[in-house]
Structure 1
Amino acid sequence: MRVRDALGPLFTDEDFTTGEFEEMYADLGRPGISPALLAMVTVLQFLHNLSDRDAAVAVADRISWKYALGLELEYTGFDASVLCEFRARLVEGDRADALLTVMLERLKSAGLVRSGGRQRTDSTHVLACVRTLNRIECLGEALRMALEEIARTSPGFIVPLLKEGWDERYGRKVETSRLLRRKNSSATRLAEQIGADGRSLIAAIDTDPDAAWMNGLPQVKILRELWGQHFEATATGRLRYRDTKELPPSAQRVRSPHDPDARYSTKGRPGADSVEWTGSKSHLTESCDEDLPSLVTDVHTTPATEPDVTAVTPVQDRLTARDLKPGEHLTDSGYPSGPNIGASLERGITPIAPVTVQTGRGAHDGTFTPKDFHVDWHSGVTRCPAGATSISMRPKKNGLIRVAFSRADCRPCPIRAQCTTAAPHLGRSLEIHPEPIHTARMRMQAEQDTPRWREAYRARAGIEATISQAVRGPGLRRSRYRGLAKTHLQNVLTGMAINIRRLGTHFDTTTKPDRRPTRIHTLCTQHDIPTAA
């Protein structure tokens, strides 16, 4: 209600007639419910973490919602299924990001967000809306889903394929049938049996010209992909169940046929602090200027296996397109890299993040690393800590520059043991980034030891509170939907809900009572007890 009083409506129906929303609704037929109304209801739904039915009831019952939505008190609401249909339209294309852009345009015109300020980014894991399955359960469930979908439309195609044991293996969800708990059961034998059953279905589809349309079914596509990942045809024509070491990398493996976009990943060092999950990853970016409220300016969703370093360029591209390019971008040590540091500087954005220049073996055994070498880019010569100069500086195919030193200088060097662990007859060599990136990395690493940098970087910690708020309120870490596109929509709506919550706090002018002090604090104050010895 306070946001409505201060800013008016955040969305209008005209916003949904141009840009990414131009083809969201058809021109023919009966007019639908106002998209601006549904957009605001959806944001409020995520603000209070409500289901579709509860949100529809809130529109009809809560006076505060009607005030915020600009509705009459007599408004009776709409059916809950309308919200699901509206989200299905938002999932298509880039409409989720466009909806956040519309909100940010309103906030930018009100002076609540601005370009050239300070922004911070961090990520968190998001669990997929699926059960965790082992390899055999995943294969069996994929085959069951394909059989179920084909049997729904063409049962006559399935009947000739039915064999003894199919009802036991595929008559119900595989994870509930407990096939491996049967007497004399074998995991390898069961996997090979499921593989043979799946191959017979794929062969039947390939040999029947009238069944070609089945290849377009999502369940059949997933079936073929999983069989290619987990089985291998032998010379005798049989299927061999691949060993775990032979499987594709985790970024390519399908973990559940119910959500083919979900990926398995781990975060942190093995032990109590590590996190293992199957799903995706969400990156939240918010403004953090001292004179303005901290508001979410971008939401980026990636597969769980993608490292944080890949998110910097897409986030900055969208911020620039929204005319919200930050002057300073604060991140943790997982985001900066040589290429995106250079790209940020070219955009006029100053990255503020811990940079590790000591890489390779030297970072762990105490030997000299690239930061200990002085590079003279003008003359193309690098000087080592002992004073010797390089004999060559040549670019490599991967974009780095290889610096080599002479064996005649390295063999008798008194500090060779601190410089390289190579064979005695070899000289030292190292790889560095090109001049702009190398210079920026060295400068950023030198600044990390200054009090000024530590004071500026202290502002990054606030993004962790934002993630905590998104987890405790809208439930960011548990996806409501399946598929990366729908999960991204949920993450965007969560960021918009946080903005509404913070704007309401920003516009709250009521005086809050002071927190009651503890009795010990009161006694120490009354008797003039110093706070420190």
Structure 2
Amino acid sequence: MGEWVGETVGPDVWETCRELIPVGSVFAFLAEDRGALFPAEMFADMYPSGNGRPSMPPQILASAVTLQALHGLSDFETVQELRCDLRWKAACGLGLHDMAFDPSLLAYFRRRLSRSARPNRVFEAVREVVKATGVLKGKHRRALDSTVLDDAVATQDTVTQIIAAIRAVIREVPGADQIAAVQCTAHDYTDPGKPRIAWNDEQARADLVDSLVGDALRLLGHLPDQQLGEKAANAVGLLALVAGQDVEPAEDSDGRDGRWRITRGTAYDRLVSTVDGEARHIHKTRTHQQDGYKAHLAIEPETALYTAVTLTPGVGPEHHEAT
């Protein structure tokens, strides 16, 4: 983690151009209180290694992403403001001649945040300032809204999901590889590619799905009783889920003879990808479907301050706007 040593590239903008920064603005506030709002120790857990070259101090990056969110800018636009706008330089503690950093550093910083134990720490710090300054005192109105955020992974079909889930069980569960070698015959699960069938042949696709589901159920049924770690238990649960969500007994089957077909229709709360187990199909309208999440926002309309945010799966009454 980079440390602030008090040196700037060129004259300190806040010290030399203070009268140009609007009094009471968020720029002036960050210039004065950035150190207290975002102290270095607040981000220490995000940089566990002491090796490598010094990075950009996280206080600067936290101030930058706060202003970025406030103004709705892209990473490239944010860096341009840091290079050219005196208000941004003062708010983030940059010198007059500072060229800031590459835009990709903002993406790395957000990734560190999202993978940390406290991914909302910047929002929480700003919220504490809002509470301490009383800017929302007496303002009881809130505007509520939600929007769909697309997931970053490709939606997987039934075949891809079952194969990926079987591979995960083979990889994570002790002894599963030996069981799979005997019980799983529909596909070579060491082959990274898709099964070699005539994909334009409807009957061939149906036979493949039937065989893959059979492999999944036999693998699950022959796993020994044992205490599983978190990864192994999750792999077993995922296989059980994907093996059942898209299939139903064959047309002339009583459900006990091990013959399956693709379900006519889409299962409620269907898992769309084994890579991201929380993304879901979301219908904004009857004709428009997206795969991802719902972002819910609460905003104080007069000041336009966000007072609450949350991200939820896109289906289910528990994730509805009213709730």
User: Shorter chain as normaliser: what TM range?
Assistant: 0.5 to 0.7
| Residue matched to 1:298 | 308
Q: Which has the larger radius of gyration?
A: 1
Secondary structure at 1:118 match in 2: coil
| Residue matched to 1:226 | 242
Deviations 1:1-43 (A, max 9, x none): 765543234643664689xx69845899579753322322334
Deviations 1:318-339 (A, max 9, x none): xxxxxxxxxxxxxxxxx3xxxx
Question: Residue 64 of structure 2 aligns to which amino acid in structure 1?
Answer: V
| Residue matched to 2:12 | none
For residues 66 and 229 of structure 1, what CA distance do their matches in structure 2 show? 53
CA-atom RMSD in angstroms: 4.9
Q: Deviation of residue 148 (structure 1)? A: 6.8
Q: Deviation of residue 129 (structure 1)? A: 2.1
Question: Residue 279 of structure 1 aligns to which amino acid in structure 2?
Answer: G
Q: 2:164 aligned with 1:141, yes or no?
A: no
Deviations 1:207-262 (A, max 9, x none): 496x95596275554222212434579775625347447x75x23x3122222111
For residues 232 and 29 of structure 1, what CA distance do their matches in structure 2 show? 54
Matched pairs, number: 288
1:106-255 equivalences under 5 Å are: 106-107=129-130, 112-133=135-156, 137-144=157-164, 146-147=166-167, 150=170, 157=177, 160=181, 166=187, 171-172=192-193, 174=194, 181-183=199-201, 185-203=203-221, 206-207=223-224, 216=232, 218-230=234-246, 238=258, 240-241=260-261, 243-244=263-264, 250-251=268-269, 253-255=270-272
Q: Describe the shift of the 1:22–1:124 C-alpha distance in structure 2 as closer, same or farther (beyond 3 A).
A: closer
Q: Describe the shift of the 1:93–1:152 C-alpha distance in structure 2 as closer, same or farther (beyond 3 A).
A: closer
| Residue matched to 1:425 | none
Question: Residue 242 of structure 2 aligns to which amino acid in structure 1?
Answer: L
Equivalent pair of 1:142/1:222 in contact (CA under 8 Å): no
Secondary structure at 1:121 match in 2: strand
Deviations 1:375-397 (A, max 9, x none): xxxxxxxxxxxxxxxxxxxxxxx
Question: Residue 295 of structure 1 aligns to which amino acid in structure 2?
Answer: L
For residues 61 and 218 of structure 1, what CA distance do their matches in structure 2 show? 44
Q: Deviation of residue 192 (structure 1)? A: 0.5
Q: Describe the shift of the 1:59–1:178 C-alpha distance in structure 2 as closer, same or farther (beyond 3 A).
A: farther
| Residue matched to 1:49 | 74
For residues 81 and 143 of structure 2, what CA distance do their matches in structure 1 show? 38
For residues 232 and 128 of structure 2, what CA distance do their matches in structure 1 show? 41
Equivalent pair of 1:140/1:170 in contact (CA under 8 Å): no
Q: Deviation of residue 74 (structure 1)? A: 5.1
TM-score after normalising by structure 1: 0.42
Q: 2:269 aligned with 1:256, yes or no?
A: no
Q: Describe the shift of the 1:110–1:131 C-alpha distance in structure 2 as closer, same or farther (beyond 3 A).
A: same
Q: Deviation of residue 157 (structure 1)? A: 3.2
Q: Describe the shift of the 1:200–1:306 C-alpha distance in structure 2 as closer, same or farther (beyond 3 A).
A: closer
For residues 154 and 78 of structure 1, what CA distance do their matches in structure 2 show? 44
TM-score after normalising by structure 2: 0.64
Q: Deviation of residue 63 (structure 1)? A: 4.3
Q: Describe the shift of the 1:148–1:13 C-alpha distance in structure 2 as closer, same or farther (beyond 3 A).
A: farther
Q: Which runs of 5+ in 2 are unaligned?
A: 1-20
From 122, 139, 148, the counterpart of 1:99: 122
Percent identity of equivalent pairs? 18
1:319-398 equivalences under 5 Å are: 335=322
Equivalent pair of 1:60/1:76 in contact (CA under 8 Å): no
| Residue matched to 2:29 | 7
Q: Which runs of 5+ in 1 are unaligned?
A: 312-334, 341-533
Q: Describe the shift of the 1:157–1:225 C-alpha distance in structure 2 as closer, same or farther (beyond 3 A).
A: same
